[in-house]
A and B are shown apart, each in its own frame.
Chain A
Amino acid sequence: MTQDALAVNLAGLQLANPMIVGSGTFGFGEEFINISNFANEDLGAITLKGTTLEPREGNKTPRVAETPSGMLNSIGLHNPGVDALINDILPRIRKFNTRLIANIAGGSVEEYREVARRIASADGIDALEVNISCPNVHRGGVEFGTEPAAAADVVGAVREVWSKPLIAKLTPNVTRIATIAEACIEAGADILSLINTLRGMVINTETRRPLLGANYGGLSGPAIKPLAVLLVHQTYQVAREKNVPLIGMGGISSASDAIEFMLAGASAFSVGTSLFWNPSVCRQILQGLRDYLARHGVGNISEIVGTLKLN
Chain B
Amino acid sequence: MADVARQEGDHFTLRFDAPEIAASARPGQFVNVRYPGGIEPPAAFDSYADLQAHHKTHPPAEPPFLLARPFGVRRVRPDGSVEILFKAVGRGTRLLARAQPGTKLDVLGPIGNSFDLSTPPGTAILVAGGTGIAPLYLLADTLHKLGSELVVLVGTGYDVPMSMSDSETVVHFLDEEVTAVIDEYAEMGALVRVATMTPRTGCFTGTSVDLLERYLQSLNPKQLQRHAIYSCGPWAMQAAVAKLAETNRMQCQVLLEERMGCGLGACMGCVVKVRQPDGTFRNKRVCVDGPVFRADEIGWDLRE
Residues of A within 8 A of B (CB): 24-27, 31-32, 35, 49, 57-58, 60-66, 68-71, 73, 75, 78, 213, 221-222, 273, 275-279
CB under 8 Å from chain A, chain B span 88-109: 91-92, 106, 108
A25 and B262 within 8 A (CB): yes
Using an 8 Å CB-CB cutoff, how does the interface string of B268-304 with A read, 1 for contact, 0 for none?
1111100000000011000010000000000000011
Would A24 and B267 be within 8 Å (CB), given that A61-B259, A276-B262 are in contact? yes
Could you tell me the distance between the alpha carbons of A75 and B67 in the complex, rounded to whole angstroms? 17
* Chain A minimum-CB-distance residue to B69: A66
**Residue among A31, A32, A222, A273 facing the most chain B CB atoms (10 A cut-off):** A31
- CB pair A26–B66 under 8 Å, yes or no, is no
Determine the chain A residues whose CB is within 8 A of the CB of B270 once the complex forms: 61, 63-64
Complex Cα distance A66/B92, Å? Answer: 10
A276 adjacent to B259 (CB under 8 Å): no
- Assess whether B268 is in contact with A75, with CB atoms less than 8 Å apart: yes
Minimum distance in angstroms from B155 CB to a CB of chain A: 22
The CB with the most chain B CB atoms within 10 A, among A25, A57, A64, is that of A64
- Cα–Cα, bound, A66→B66 (Å): 7
Q: By the criterion of a CB under 8 Å from any partner CB, how many residues of chain B are at the interface?
A: 30
Q: List CB contacts (< 8 Å) of B236-281 with chain A.
A: 258-272
A sample of 6 more A-B contacts (CB under 8 A), given A57-B283, A276-B264, A279-B264, is A35-B264, A61-B272, A65-B259, A276-B66, A276-B262, A278-B106
Most buried by A among B63, B260, B269, B288: B269
Given contacts A61-B258, A65-B259, contact A221 B266 (CB under 8 A): no
In the complex, which of the residues B268, B282, B303 contacts A49, with contact meaning CB atoms closer than 8 Å? B268
**What are some 27 contacts across the A-B interface (CB < 8 A)?**
A25-B267, A27-B268, A31-B266, A35-B264, A58-B268, A60-B304, A61-B258, A61-B272, A61-B303, A63-B269, A63-B270, A63-B271, A64-B67, A64-B259, A66-B66, A66-B91, A66-B92, A69-B66, A70-B66, A71-B66, A71-B67, A75-B267, A276-B261, A276-B264, A276-B267, A277-B66, A277-B67
Chain A residues in 8 Å Cβ range of B190: none
Residues of B near any A CB (own CB < 8 A): 34, 63, 65-68, 91-92, 106, 108, 258-272, 282-283, 288, 303-304
Q: Considering the chains assembled together, what is the distance between the CA atoms of A26 and B261 in angstroms?
A: 12
Whether A276 pairs with B68 at a CB distance below 8 angstroms is yes
| Bound: A40/B275 CA distance, A | 32
| Set B67, B263, B288: member contacting A66, Cβ < 8 A | B67
Q: In whole Å, how far is A202's beta carbon from the nearest beta carbon of chain B?
A: 11
Determine the distance from Cα of A278 to Cα of B34 in the docked complex, in whole angstroms: 9
Query: Could you tell me if B108 and A64 are in contact, using CB atoms closer than 8 angstroms?
Result: no
Task: List the 8 closest pairs (A to B, CB-CB), nearest first.
Answer: A64-B269, A276-B262, A27-B266, A64-B261, A31-B266, A60-B304, A31-B265, A62-B259
Closest chain-B Cβ to A136's Cβ sits at a distance in Å of 11
